[in-house]
Amino acid sequence: MSIQVSPANLEFSKPVSSAAQARAAYLTKLLHLAQSTVAETSELQALRDHAALRVQEQTFPSTRDEEWRFTDLSDLLAVELAAAERSAVTPDAIARFVLPDTARLVFVNGFYAPELSDLGTFPARLTVGNLSSASDQQLQTYLGQQSGAEEVFTALNTAGLSDAGFVFAAKNLVVDRPIHLLFVSTASQPVLIQPRCLVVAEPNSSLTVIEDHISLGESVYFTNSVAEIWLADNAQITHTRIQRDSQSAFHIGKTAVSQARSSRYTCTAVSFGARLSRHNLNIYQTGEQTETALNGLTVLKGEQVGDTHSSIALSKPYGTSRQVHKCIIDDRAHGIFNGKVFVPKAAQLTDAGQLNRTLLLSPKARVDTKPQLEIVADNVKCTHGATVGQLETDELFYLQSRGIDASSARKLLVYAFAYEILSQIPLESLRQSLTSQL
Amino acid sequence: MITETSETILSVKDLTANVDNTPILKGMNLEIKAGEIHAIMGPNGSGKSTFSKVLAGHPDYEVTGGEVTYLGQNLLELDPEERARSGVFLAFQYPLEIPGVSNLDFLRVAYNSKRKHAGLEELDAFDFDDLVEQKLEIVKMDASFLNRSVNEGFSGGEKKRNEILQMAVLEPKLAILDETDSGLDIDALRIVANGVNQLSTPDNAMLIITHYQRLLEYIVPDYVHVMANGRIIRTGGKELALELEERGYDWVLEAEAVAS
Ligand SMILES: Nc1ncnc2c1ncn2[C@@H]1O[C@H](COP(=O)(O)OP(=O)(O)OP(=O)(O)O)[C@@H](O)[C@H]1O
Ligand SMILES: [Mg+2]
């Protein structure tokens, strides 16, 4: 493709910087890596080709992009990545991540691992498996069809899409047993890993899903994950998303949720891992009277960077959203929170609340937080708040005055801060293992 | 029974302390022996809570002079947790909330840190449950409070009662109660006072900060001190509290002004 530049614009145009060139080359490389893992022929080819075009039309983000202002991906550019490979993982290796009383779907480096999965017995009208368990019609209706699919990293994932976790609850089906989607990363060299899942709840159905990104080592890799979640009328999904990637990894994750009338979606997202992580959480309320609850906890230390960009689009009357996002930041780590809420004219009598609370544990710890409310409708209730604080001397003193040493008192107070979010995790064993990581 | 030979628990000499470089305590003197109950009264802002926090070791309060000897050792060189483990207990005027930490766990951690300090084995959960059950009885608290987060959502009076529950579990040698009576209804006041009396032994001592003579009808002090402007300006017996209740503080303050 050649670029036409009119003489009038010429004097303003600068030569493409070498940094921009490096980003473009890197994106091309990523796209090739993504495509290289794809199985030869497949009915998904058209979807992939379309997504590849979307990738090619875009640029790899830099801190000049408003959406990436505080999240600098240049360290990733320095990582020479290879394509992800299947890897043999023993049940012992993942034993400590296994959650009791759940159905488990395991993917290793993005590849389905049926030998590690344990689906148990399920009602017939529930489908849990990989994409081979989905019908063509289900794939056509839902896979890659969420708004925001053209966003560069989402499109990159789709361009290399050959398999995904798949959960489908048919109409009126209430599933109590949580479904654990365990995405395992294990890499002996830096690789691009692209986990994916598709979760669909048909009218009046109910699901509990735990999306869990873990690592078996402290290696360098780049996880670029996508979760697409669909709630039909009056459906309910309780979604727990845990990001505990390697401390040397890069993690960019998309959660795109579409909510039809009277549906209820809860997301509890807990992020501990990765040297740099970004969670893009996009909620699309498409029907009246939908309810969204977002709980977030990001725990950072060392030089970690942890970014959450959420957006909630209320579009119809009587929608509600409740968001509490907390960050605990130690050492020289850097937290970023950007919370968008859109309330267009049609979304009358809606109620949106957002709260971001940050606990800074060291003088060098940093947070950048930005609520972004775009409200056009006039008869609505929208609140937001952001607080940044440190451990209170008075609180520490109270504990110490009961004989608890300073370091235990600190831990207890950090735990108390996180508790509001951690307590939302529906599984006791998972709650405990995350608490012990604090 | 207080006798001349009773052990001295606390001895404060010419204690001065600053907050944010502002002198608040301006020469406190106080001697407390085993078995004694002392009350400190005084106008708002006179430094009563400051004194209690200095004794418990709050880091925001800078001791600028004087001495505090507790059971023969220099109290001021101990960390707050060491003071607590060696038997100093402060019931806070404004107890803090700790969401997510159950009252029972909190009590057990506190209790065991004290036992460990004393070279004793930690008590396991079962034995501790038994112990707490008895202590609940002292403050007539419902067991359901044990499973709730520490002070979270407790009413003002419940928080105060919870402080006394902690005191009952920790069995301090020197208990400092900072306005534990404020915010209590009449029945709760009686229950708390009764609890404190049960915890009072010939071996320990109490320092009770209050604005109201009412509490002192239940917990009868051996000495009543009046604090003003960072110092104790008058000391008397329990009848002093009655007199203060009737006449206010002005006459004491005036007498002090004349004297100095
Ligand atoms: N952290 C602080 N910063 C500044 N001033 C303080 C601080 N803590 C206490 N003070 C001041 O020290 C003085 C004594 O306060 P303190 O709380 O000890 O009084 P008190 O006798 O307990 O009063 P009350 O009867 O109202 O409880 C007050 O003037 C108070 O404003
Ligand atoms: Mg006070």
Nearest CA residue ID for atom 30, ligand 1: B45
Other Cβ atoms within 10 Å of A405 Cβ, number: 16
Closest residue, chain A, to B117 (C-alpha): A403
B43 burial class (0-12, 13-18, 19+ CB within 10 angstroms)?
Answer: middle
SS3 A287: coil
pTM over 0.95: no
* Token digits of residue A413: 């107070």
The residue segments making up the domain with residue B250 are 8-259
Q: What residues flank ion ligand 2 with Cβ within 5 A?
A: B 48-49, 93
* CB-closest option in B83, B84, B101 to A412: B101
* Residues A293-320: tens digit of each pLDDT: 999 999 999 999 999 999 999 999 999 9
Flag whether residue A434 sits within 8 Å of chain B, measured between CB atoms: no
Which residue in A394, A401, A412 is closest to B84 by CB distance? Answer: A401
User: Residues near A91 by Cβ (< 8 Å), separated by ≥ 6?
Assistant: A116
Q: Can you give the pLDDT at residue A10?
A: 46
CA dihedral B10, B14, B20, B24 (to 10 degrees): 90
Q: Which pLDDT tens digit goes with each residue over A314-345?
A: 999 999 999 999 999 999 999 999 999 999 99
As a whole number of angstroms, the distance between CA B42 and CA B230 comes to 10
Q: Looking at the 3D structure of chain B, how many domains does it have?
A: 1
Q: B244-253 as b/e, with b when 16 or more CB fall inside 10 Å? A: beeeebeebb
CA distance A352 to A370: 16
CA dihedral B234, B239, B241, B246 (to 10 degrees): -110
What single letter denotes the amino acid at residue A171? K
pLDDT at A9: 45
Name chain A contacts of B152, Cβ cutoff 8 Å.
none
Alpha carbon distance B24, A182 (integer Å): 59
Is A132 in CB contact (< 8 Å) with chain B?
no
Spell out where A81-164 has E strands: 82-83, 103-108, 111-112, 126-130
Q: How much distance in Å is there from the Cα of A33 to the middle of ligand 2?
A: 67
Judge whether B1 lies within some domain: no
φ/ψ of A175, rounded to 5, equals -110, 115
CATH number of the domain at B168, please: 3.40.50.300
Residue in chain B lying closest to A397 (CA): B58
How far apart are the C-alpha atoms of B150 and A205, rounded to whole Å?
38
Cβ contact, residue pair B96, A420, below 8 Å: no
In a domain, residue B151? The reply is yes
Q: Please check whether residue B165 lies inside any domain of the structure.
A: yes
In this complex, do A403 and B56 lie within 8 Å of one another by their Cβ atoms?
A: no
Give a yes or no: residue B193 inside a domain.
yes
Q: Which of B175, B218, B173 is nearest to B193 (CA)?
A: B218
Q: What's chain B's average pLDDT?
A: 94
List of chain B residues whose C-beta atoms are within 8 Å of the C-beta of residue A436: none
Q: What is the pLDDT of residue B259?
A: 81
Q: Which residue of B has its CA nearest to A408?
A: B109
Tell whether A351 lies on the interface with B, counting CB pairs under 8 A: no
Q: Distance from B109 to chain A by nearest Cα, in Å?
A: 7
Q: What percent of chain B is modeled with pLDDT above 90? A: 88
A410-433: b or e for each residue (b if 16 or more CB lie within 10 Å)? bebbbbbbbbbbbebbebeebbeb
Question: pLDDT at position A118, please?
Answer: 95
Ligand 2 centre and the CA of B48: distance in Å? 5
> Longest Cα pair distance anywhere in chain B, in angstroms?
61
Residue of B nearest to A419 (CA): B100
- When pLDDT is averaged across residues A161-175 and rounded to a whole number, the result is 96
Does residue A416 sit at the B interface (CB-CB below 8 Å)? yes
Beta strand extents in B8-75 (DSSP E only): 8-19, 22-33, 37-41, 61-70, 73-74
Question: Mean pLDDT across the stretch A16-37?
Answer: 92
Evaluate whether residue B2 is within a structural domain.
no
A304 by DSSP, 3-state: which?
Answer: coil
User: For ligand 1, which residues put their CB under 6 angstroms from it?
Assistant: B 19-20, 24, 42, 44-50, 60, 93
Bridging pattern class, strands A276-285 and A111-112: unpaired
Domain-located, residue B208: yes
Ligand nearest to the CA of B42: 1
* Unique residue bearing structure tokens 């404004």: B94
